[in-house]
Each structure stands twice: as C-alpha cells, then as structure tokens.
Amino acid sequence: RPSPVFGGVAALWLTGGALAWFEYGSRVVNVLLFVLAGWVVSLSLHEYAHALTAYRSGDHSVAARGYLTLNPLKYTHPFLSIVLPLVFLLIGGIGLPGGAVWVNRGAVRTRGRASLISLVGPGANVVFFLVLAAPFLIGVDTRAHPTFWAAVAFLAFLQLTAAALNLLPVPGLDGGNALRPWLRGDTAKVYDYLAPFGFLLLVLIIFTPVVSDSFWRIVLGISDLIGVPRGLIVSGLDLVQFWR
C-alpha cells in the first residue's frame, strides 16, 4: 500500500495545482508547491518502478526494505536522494536523478531482467512526461489559467530532463546500470570502480559546454516535437526561480 508520506506529498501536489488553477494566493508559492511536490511524486514512482520490476524478477528483498510503499524517505539517503536534487531543480531548473533502490543482482533471474530493472525507472519519468504533456499535444487553451499551465509545462520538462540524464551510459546511473550485466573482465572492474562517482561524473557532464549544449538542444527538440510550449516552460522556470 502507498505510504502516508507519499499520500501527503501527492495531496500537496494536487493542492498546489488547484491553487494555481484558481489563481488563489501567491503565484510563486502555488507553482513551487506544485512543481516540488510533483517532483517528489515522480521520484517515488521512478524508484517504485525499479523495485516492482526487481521484485517480479526474483529479488523479494525489496519488499522488506519498504521500496514497494512509494515512500520517498525509503529511497536511500534523504539528503542525496531528495534534498540535493530539489536544490538543483531550484537553482538550475534541472531534473537530476535522485533516489536509488538497492537491488540484489544475484537474485535476479537473467541479465535481460537486470537491464530492465534499470530502464523502467526512466520509463516512469517518460510516462509522467507524456501524461503532463498530453493537454498541450491536444491543443488545450493555455491562455486560460496560465499559471497552472506554466507549472505543468515546467514539471513536464523536468521529467524529460530526468529521463534523458538517467539514460546516459554513465556508471552508477540507470543507463550505465542497464549495460553493467553485459560487461565482463576489466571493463566490468572499471565500471564498478567508477559507479560510486556517477553523480559527480553527471555534474561534470552537465557543466561541460559542448556536451551541455548538445544535451539541451536534444531535450528541447523532443519537448517541441511533443508540443510543450517553450514559453510556458520558461514562465514556469521564472516562477520557480523567483529570486532572479
């Protein structure tokens, strides 16, 4: 069953959306509540997807660790998994990978299932992105309730960036972990040595100009293709980064 913590965060997310829809109170507070709570909801769904697939692939220890409860506090260290990604979200408007589910790889039946366990997390972000982007794709009139739609567009964009970053073949990230079951010998040893530094490697990649420019060009291109308006994404970012 979903934990009360997850239920509370989901309630905050819906409350933020309702307040933004009706323009009640502060626009900034409403958008912050919607985006930040929505981000924690998506993080929980991402990690739950990992855990559920691992459970169905033979690792029943994920249930004992509480990974199947959607409780964001169960997904590794609260600071590294929740606080730090939220800080990057606020400062840089980037949906960084956050939580992590520890999986007993020895209990997983096949290498294919091991790769699938890694890939379903970003898949959850993609599904969340498509759900949020669907109104724009069908041509909703965003001139009505502009604050709400700006919040939705920005949260959708965060899901896309999170999925794209997670799928990079970097040791320790989901993209790299999907490749790990197929590595052998020295290649596997190098991967295992670098995996604990995956988050640091990702930050270095993000701030490398050539890579960063290409990454944002691709992500924005996908967002444009789906129909999420760039103007609304920027409006949502401006409301989240209200101090600029």
Which active-site residues does the annotation give? 47
User: Within 13 Å, how many C-alpha atoms sit on residue 131's CB side?
Assistant: 10
In contact, 169 and 179? CB cutoff 8 Å? yes
In contact, 175 and 168? CB cutoff 8 Å? yes
Tokens 């079951």, residue located? 181
Widest Cα–Cα separation across the chain: 60
Q: Rounded CA gap, 28 and 90, in Å?
A: 12
Element (H, E) at 136: helix 111-137
Q: Rounded CA gap, 81 and 35, in Å?
A: 16
Token pair listed for 156: 């959708």
